[in-house]
């Protein structure tokens, strides 16, 4: 008589597969979440760079101190992509803060923060010396 | 026997193994991808941190060109940082030197900044220097409104201060409205060594009557120059010192000065390497002269003599937000009238004769210095006497006697000396149309001055004081005066080098006339190539004191305004003029503009902000 699988074997095999599947789902889920996070971060970094490059071009006078977190621009400051940019149905909110650098005359500290959803967001920062 | 026992377990283990391997590979790839993308964020943060380091150094250098301090700074809240150091293999500050430091050019700095964020680094290397203000144009005269010219107007161009090669000098109106006579010369004669251009397409917008030019163009496309931000520049210097203006005469100190409520001054205002920032109007009656630059947020009205040389050869002379008005005191007419009224008691000759001879002598001196080398062909009065090798009569005393004719020193003596030992044999070729001077016709300037002193009309008090002062300067006969070296012994090259080494350029220029064609000077490796520049200096001095030019306005550098420019005075600009407000009209009466593209292109290099000139790695 040819005997089939024992109940024990099947139970153990299913248990192993379940554990493995759960572990893999956890790993994939985390990875995908991280991947999504990084993609948001990358987009936010690009937007922050774009904001800094617009300011560096010298086309817009940079006031200091100033804080713009959604308010309407004044004299074209802050330039686009401030205040909000939508990419793939996700809203990226740009905040621009400026302050004089105390020990460097005429130099302005510019902090650009780009956030999405509830994430703390990306911060890029530089000094500018307007001509 | 149970041959299949455990198969399910083995198969399951195999499947789990395969899945785990697949998951491992995917997780690894995901991780690499994420790390790569996160690295991009950190690289960006490091890059902007390095940029912050450059801006930080630019700010320090704008305030103090000698600054060089090793710096490490963490930017909050981003946490990125920048660092740079000075020394071998690091940054080099050569901003204050006129000679290169290794591979770093003169008046520039090499800056190497390392930005860092979460272990990622970005290095930026730049060359830093002062850039010109953004006003450079190729036009000799540019206006956004009407250009009206009267009298003799001469617009020409040299390639550079030292190179007299002719280049084109354009006269341009940017006025868009189709109005007739946008550019016109109702009287006199206008000579433009270039094109006359107007952006209006109306043919009659350029009235060609009395205007000679290489070409005329309507419907021209010419861009407006960018805004140099006069208000911002003046405001940025509000912390500079405000010197007290003394009654009658004030010499402003070198460096930046700031006047918060404008200037209204009667007297002589002299710049001594001064950057004069005026918040409000600038009104000067008397003279505004010296070396420096003037920035005005209101209108500028200069009555009397204006003689400004920009702080460097490629600088700015006058930058005005409002209108510019340059008005002479017409001292020439006043002196002429004063001399027409009396007779010199010593010679019983009319003062008018002395005045005319004075003008002639100055004209001849100008000719003597202006005549190009190629015009020594035996047909001009400045040619060497037959058998003589010394040209232009810039000779020593012996040659002077032998020539029986005039030279620069001789003319200077005639103007200022009571005792003129060569007069008996001095044939004043050219003076009074070859009329021989009488033996008592000496100290011409002194006689003219006596005529002016004898004039007592109270209504002429201001112009009289101005005329006497000018004549006093013209007649100065000490070593500090313009003719102080008249009849002096021959200069030696060693003496001239010594004068240059001690910065005594005025004495050097005054001595130059003796040495102009001397092979010692011509062949000298350093001084020889400087002859042309030094000749220009001499001509400048001569022009300044010429009685026929009293009350003239003279600028070496660029004139820029955003209102109207009106000049009812002789005006000579070495540089260029731009009147580029919303609709700025220009009215010039008797004007010479010598456009020097080199000057215009580098306008403001002494004042422009310290900025990045070149990137090496980005």
Lowest pLDDT segment from B430-434, B477-481, B577-581: B430-434
Query: CA of A113, closest CA in chain B: separation in Å?
Result: 9
Report the alpha-carbon distance of residue B452 to residue B471 in Å, rounded: 9
* Chain B contact probe: residue of A7, A58, A127 with most B CBs at under 10 A: A127
Query: CA of B104, closest CA in chain A: separation in Å?
Result: 22
Q: Is the pLDDT at B444 greater than 90, yes or no?
A: no
Torsion angles phi and psi, residue B478, rounded to 5: -105, 180
CB atoms within 10 A of CB B471: 24
B-chain CB neighbours of A27 within 8 Å are 23, 27
A87 versus B400: the higher-pLDDT residue is A87
The mean pLDDT of B96-125, rounded to a whole number, is 87
| B 539-568: CB under 8 A from A | none
pLDDT at A78: 92
Q: Using alpha carbons only, what angle is made at residue B502 by residues B497 and B504, rounded to the nearest 5 degrees?
A: 85
User: Among residues B326, B328, B242, B311, which one has the least CA distance to residue B271?
Assistant: B311
The mean pLDDT of B106-117, rounded to a whole number, is 90
CB B217 within 8 A of CB B235: no
pLDDT at B123: 93
User: Among residues B78, B38, B26, which one has the least CA distance to residue A37?
Assistant: B38
Which residue among A9, A39, A107 places its CB closest to the CB of B56?
Answer: A107
- Output the CA–CA distances (angstroms, integers) from residue B3 to A10, A13, A36, B6, B414, in the order listed: 16, 18, 49, 9, 137
In the block, tokens 């994420």 appear at B34
B-chain CB neighbours of A16 within 8 Å are 9, 12-13, 16
Confidence of residue B516 (pLDDT cuts 50, 70, 90): low
Which residue among A17, A31, A124 places its CB closest to the CB of B44?
Answer: A124
pLDDT at B515: 60
pLDDT, mean over chain B: 76
Confidence of residue B133 (pLDDT cuts 50, 70, 90): low
Q: Which residue of B has its CA nearest to A103?
A: B60
Q: Is the pLDDT at B390 greater than 70, yes or no?
A: no
In the block, tokens 């350093």 appear at B526
Confidence of residue B438 (pLDDT cuts 50, 70, 90): low
Chain A contact present for B245, CB below 8 A: no
| B 130-159: CB under 8 A from A | 131
Under an 8 A CB cutoff, do B56 and A124 touch?
Answer: no
B-chain CB neighbours of A6 within 8 Å are 5
Q: Is the pLDDT at B278 greater than 80, yes or no?
A: yes
The mean pLDDT of B266-287, rounded to a whole number, is 87
Q: How many interface pairs between A and B have CB atoms less than 8 angstroms apart? A: 133
Q: pLDDT tens for residues B7-44? A: 777 777 788 788 778 877 877 877 777 777 777 889 99
Q: Is the pLDDT at B535 greater than 70, yes or no?
A: no
Confidence of residue B424 (pLDDT cuts 50, 70, 90): very low
Chain A contact present for B58, CB below 8 A: yes
Confidence of residue B561 (pLDDT cuts 50, 70, 90): very high
Q: Which residue of B has its CA nearest to A35?
A: B34
pLDDT at B356: 82
Q: Positive or negative CA dihedral for B501, B503, B504, B509? A: positive
* Chain A contact probe: residue of B18, B52, B82, B618 with most A CBs at under 10 A: B52
The mean pLDDT of B258-271, rounded to a whole number, is 90
Question: What residues of chain A score a pLDDT lower than 50?
Answer: 1
pLDDT at B14: 83
User: Among residues A112, A107, A35, A37, which one has the least CA distance to residue A81?
Assistant: A112
Q: Which residue of B has its CA nearest to A109?
A: B52
A-chain CB neighbours of B231 within 8 Å are none
Can you list the pairs that B108-113 forms with residues at least 24 positions away whose Cβ atoms lie under 8 Å?
A: B108/B613, B109/B57, B109/B61, B111/B53, B111/B54, B111/B57, B111/B84, B112/B84, B113/B50, B113/B53, B113/B54, B113/B57, B113/B82, B113/B83, B113/B84
A-chain CB neighbours of B9 within 8 Å are 9, 12-13, 16
Query: CA of A73, closest CA in chain B: separation in Å?
Result: 21
Strand pairing partners for B121?
B116
Report the alpha-carbon distance of residue B278 to residue B258 in Å, rounded: 6
Q: Which residue of A has its CA nearest to B31?
A: A31
Q: Is the pLDDT at B382 greater than 60, yes or no?
A: no
Query: CA of A120, closest CA in chain B: separation in Å?
Result: 12
Chain A contact present for B55, CB below 8 A: yes
pLDDT at B431: 44
Which residue among A13, A122, A129 places its CB closest to the CB of B55?
Answer: A129
Which residue among A4, A106, A123 places its CB closest to the CB of B59?
Answer: A106
Under an 8 A CB cutoff, do B236 and A20 touch?
Answer: no
pLDDT at B392: 45
Note if the bond before A83 is cis, omega within 30 degrees: yes
Chain A contact present for B12, CB below 8 A: yes
Report the alpha-carbon distance of residue B495 to residue B492 in Å, rounded: 5
| A 69-128: CB under 8 A from B | 101, 104-107, 109, 111, 122-128
Which residue among B6, B34, B63 places its CB closest to the CB of A35?
Answer: B34
B-chain CB neighbours of A56 within 8 Å are 51
**Crossing angle for the helix pair B351-370 and B444-453, to the nearest 10 degrees:** 140
Q: pLDDT tens for residues B51-101? A: 999 999 998 988 788 899 999 999 988 999 999 999 888 999 988 776 788
Which residue among B27, B45, B80 places its CB closest to the CB of A27?
Answer: B27
Q: Positive or negative CA dihedral for B500, B503, B509, B511? A: negative
Which residue among A27, A56, A122 places its CB closest to the CB of B23?
Answer: A27
Which SS3 state, helix, strand or coil, does residue A11 take?
helix
In the block, tokens 């009659």 appear at B204
pLDDT at B534: 61
Report ipTM for this prediction: 0.85
Q: pLDDT tens for residues B309-340? A: 766 544 567 889 999 988 777 777 888 899 99
Under an 8 A CB cutoff, do B60 and A104 touch?
Answer: yes
Report the alpha-carbon distance of residue B405 to residue B368 in Å, rounded: 13
Q: What percent of chain B has pLDDT over 70?
A: 70
User: Among residues B382, B435, B386, B376, which one has the least CA distance to residue B405?
Assistant: B382
Chain A contact present for B6, CB below 8 A: yes
Confidence of residue B260 (pLDDT cuts 50, 70, 90): very high
Under an 8 A CB cutoff, do A42 and B37 touch?
Answer: yes
Chain B contact present for A47, CB below 8 A: no
Report the alpha-carbon distance of residue B448 to residue B430 in Å, rounded: 20
Torsion angles phi and psi, residue B527, rounded to 5: -75, -35
B-chain CB neighbours of A28 within 8 Å are 23, 26
Report the alpha-carbon distance of residue B603 to residue A131 in Å, rounded: 15
Q: Is the pLDDT at B584 greater than 60, yes or no?
A: yes
Per DSSP bridges, beta strands B571-579 and B553-561 are parallel
Structure tokens at B519: 């092979």
């Amino acid at each position: 008589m040819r005997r089939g699988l024992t109940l024990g074997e099947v139970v153990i095999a299913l248990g192993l597969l379940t554990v493995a599947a759960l572990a893999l789902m956890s790993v994939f889920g985390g990875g995908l979440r991280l991947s999504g996070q990084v993609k948001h971060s990358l987009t936010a970094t690009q937007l922050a760079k774009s904001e800094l490059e617009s300011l560096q071009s010298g086309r817009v006078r940079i006031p200091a101190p100033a804080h713009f977190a959604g308010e309407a621009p004044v004299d074209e400051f802050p330039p686009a992509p401030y205040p909000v940019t939508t990419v793939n149905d996700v809203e990226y909110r740009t905040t621009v803060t400026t302050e004089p650098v105390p020990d460097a005359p005429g130099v302005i500290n510019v902090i650009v923060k780009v956030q999405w959803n509830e994430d703390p967001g990306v911060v890029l920062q530089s000094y500018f010396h307007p001509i | 026997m149970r041959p299949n026992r455990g198969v399910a377990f083995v198969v399951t283990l195999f499947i789990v193994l395969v899945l785990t391997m697949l998951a491992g590979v995917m997780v690894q790839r995901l991780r690499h991808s994420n790390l790569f993308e996160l690295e991009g964020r950190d690289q960006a943060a490091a890059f902007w941190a390095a940029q912050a380091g450059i801006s930080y150094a630019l700010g320090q250098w704008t305030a103090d060109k000698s600054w060089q301090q090793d710096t490490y700074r963490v930017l909050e809240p981003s946490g990125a940082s920048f660092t740079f150091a000075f020394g071998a293999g690091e940054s080099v500050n050569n901003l204050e030197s006129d000679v290169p430091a290794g591979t770093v050019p003169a008046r520039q700095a090499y800056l190497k900044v390392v930005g860092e964020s979460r272990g990622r680094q970005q290095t930026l290397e730049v060359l830093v220097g002062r850039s010109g203000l953004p006003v450079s144009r190729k036009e000799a005269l540019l206006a956004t409104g009407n250009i009206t010219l009267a009298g003799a107007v001469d617009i020409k161009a040299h390639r550079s201060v030292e190179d007299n090669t002719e280049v084109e000098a354009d006269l341009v109106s940017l006025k868009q409205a189709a109005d007739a006579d946008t550019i016109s010369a109702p009287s006199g004669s206008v000579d433009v060594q270039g094109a006359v251009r107007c952006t209006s397409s109306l043919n009659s917008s350029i009235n060609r009557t009395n205007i000679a030019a290489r070409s005329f163009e309507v419907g021209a496309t010419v861009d407006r120059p960018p805004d140099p931000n006069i208000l911002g520049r003046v405001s940025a210097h509000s912390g500079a010192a405000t010197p007290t203006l003394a009654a009658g005469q004030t010499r402003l100190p070198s460096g930046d000065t700031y006047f918060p409520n404008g200037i209204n001054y009667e007297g002589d205002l002299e710049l001594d390497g001064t950057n004069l920032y005026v918040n409000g109007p600038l009104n000067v009656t008397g003279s505004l002269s010296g070396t420096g630059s003037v920035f005005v947020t209101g209108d500028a009205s200069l009555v009397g003599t204006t003689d400004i040389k920009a702080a460097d050869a490629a600088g700015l002379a006058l930058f005005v937000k409002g209108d510019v008005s340059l008005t002479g005191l017409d001292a020439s007419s006043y002196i002429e009238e004063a001399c027409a009224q009396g007779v010199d008691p010593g010679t019983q000759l009319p003062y008018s004769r002395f005045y005319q001879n004075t003008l002639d002598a100055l004209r001849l001196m100008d000719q003597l210095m202006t005549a190009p080398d190629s015009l020594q062909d035996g047909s001009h009065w400045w040619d060497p006497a037959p058998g003589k090798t010394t040209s232009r009569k810039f000779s020593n005393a012996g040659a002077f006697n032998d020539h029986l004719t005039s030279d620069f020193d001789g003319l200077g003596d005639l103007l200022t000396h009571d005792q003129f030992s060569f007069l008996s044999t001095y044939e004043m070729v050219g003076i009074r149309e070859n009329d021989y001077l009488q033996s008592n016709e000496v100290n011409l300037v002194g006689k003219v001055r006596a005529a002016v002193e004898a004039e007592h009309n109270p209504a002429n008090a201001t112009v009289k004081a101005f005329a006497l002062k000018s004549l006093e300067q013209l007649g100065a006969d000490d070593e500090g005066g313009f003719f102080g070296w008249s009849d002096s012994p021959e200069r030696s090259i060693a003496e001239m080098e010594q004068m240059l080494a001690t910065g005594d350029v005025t004495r050097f220029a005054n001595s130059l006339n003796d040495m102009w064609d001397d092979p010692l000077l011509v062949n000298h490796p350093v001084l020889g190539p400087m002859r042309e520049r030094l000749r220009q200096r001499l001509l400048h001095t001569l022009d300044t004191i010429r009685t026929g030019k009293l009350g003239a306005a003279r600028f070496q550098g660029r004139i820029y305004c955003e209102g109207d420019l009106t000049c009812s005075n002789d005006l000579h600009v070495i540089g260029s003029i731009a009147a580029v407000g919303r609709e700025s009209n220009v009215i010039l009466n008797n004007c010479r503009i010598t456009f020097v593209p080199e000057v215009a292109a580098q306008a403001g290099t002494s004042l422009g902000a310290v900025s990045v000139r070149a990137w090496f790695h980005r």
